[in-house]
Amino acid sequence: MGFLNAIIKNIAPVFIATSPVTSYADQIYAIHRTRSSAGFSLDIPLIMLVASILKVFYWFGAHFSTSLLIQALLTIAVHILLLHVALSHRPAPTHLPFQHSASIRPYDFWQWRNPRPYWSFITYFSIALLLAHMLLSPTRMFIPYTNLLGMVALAIEATLPLPQLLANWQRRGCKGFRPSVIANWVVGDSFKMWFFFASSSGEVPWAFKACGIFQACCDLGLAAQYLVWGDGPVGVVGKEVRSPPPEIDGFVSEKLGERGAMGVGIEMDGGQAWERPRGL
């Protein structure tokens, strides 16, 4: 067991440092190839960018493992690229009859149609942290401040799978979210947990371990969703469910009192609307 732990401790830092590239390269390529980010939650880049930027500033107070710092820096670069690709290939909003798509977030946060607010938020967030770092670094409050940043960063990162879990649950499917990402999350977090608990005391703060365990449990939930639902039911694209064609003839005469003229009839069923031409 000691020999295996020694191998893990030597291999894990390289695996952890490069995990952002191995986890999301396939997702970025898939969105670019299909020219669509439908099914992919934009909250994933938000969570990872905010958490990783906070972890970089946390390192100046905690000086945790260098591999974790490199991972945070690579994560920022990879998720900036992922966000750019996802925004560039975002599907157009659907405009179904009688459908209201009101955002439940204040000021439509992170649901903007214009890409510029996304980059403005990341820029202002980083500048604010840099100014706070410069002001507090000469004071006694610096270490407690960086410890707070670390706890917030790891708590945010632990919620990473939750938006995708919710989106998959609403669609009853995982279409648009690459199984390679799920596999990397499950394997990577399992590997990371082993490294955390095999490392010497003080090398990995306890907050990393607690949040890592929660995140690993969520990853297993994503894997279970994919095994049970796969891409989801036929006819579901993103959140749009395509209505089946009507099977009962003569609905035009029942609804409009006419039969035999050419035109278009409209039928309402559970808030959905579909059209069909009238027969002769």
Residues with Cβ within 8 Å of residue 234, at least 6 apart in sequence = none
**Minimal CA–CA distance to 91: which of 181, 176, 160?**
176
Q: What is the mean pLDDT of residues 99-118?
A: 80
Model confidence pLDDT, tens digit, residues 131-181: 999 999 999 999 999 999 999 998 898 888 888 888 888 888 888 777 888
Model confidence pLDDT, tens digit, residues 41-71: 899 899 999 999 999 999 999 888 888 899 9
* C-beta separation of 75 from 44 below 8 A: no
The pLDDT of residue 163 is 83
How far is 178 from 39, CA to CA, in rounded Å?
10
The pLDDT of residue 244 is 46
The pLDDT of residue 178 is 79
Q: Residue 17 is which amino acid?
A: A
> What is the token pair recorded at 31?
């969105």
Q: Which residue has the higher pLDDT, 12 or 96?
A: 12
> What is the token pair recorded at 255?
């609804």
The pLDDT of residue 206 is 80
The partner residues of 105 in beta bridges, in order of sequence, read none
- Average pLDDT taken over every residue of the chain: 79
Listed in sequence order, the DSSP H helices in the chain are 2-34, 43-62, 66-88, 116-136, 142-158, 161-171, 179-198, 206-229, 251-256
> What is the token pair recorded at 219?
């990853």
What is the share, in percent, of the chain residues with pLDDT greater than 70? Answer: 75
The rounded Cα 195 to chain-centroid distance in angstroms is 25
Query: DSSP letter at 64?
Result: -
Q: Which residue has the higher pLDDT, 279 or 124?
A: 124
**Minimal CA–CA distance to 169: which of 96, 98, 222?**
222
Q: Which residue has the tokens 């706890």?
A: 151
How far is 180 from 159, CA to CA, in rounded Å?
19
Element spanning 265, H or E: strand 264-269
Q: What is the mean pLDDT of residues 201-218?
A: 79
* C-beta separation of 230 from 182 below 8 A: no
Model confidence pLDDT, tens digit, residues 242-257: 344 444 444 444 444 4
The pLDDT of residue 4 is 67
Residues with Cβ within 8 Å of residue 211, at least 6 apart in sequence = 154, 155, 157, 158
How far is 117 from 100, CA to CA, in rounded Å?
23
The pLDDT of residue 270 is 47
The partner residues of 87 in beta bridges, in order of sequence, read none
pLDDT higher than 80, residue 13: no
How far is 112 from 279, CA to CA, in rounded Å?
44
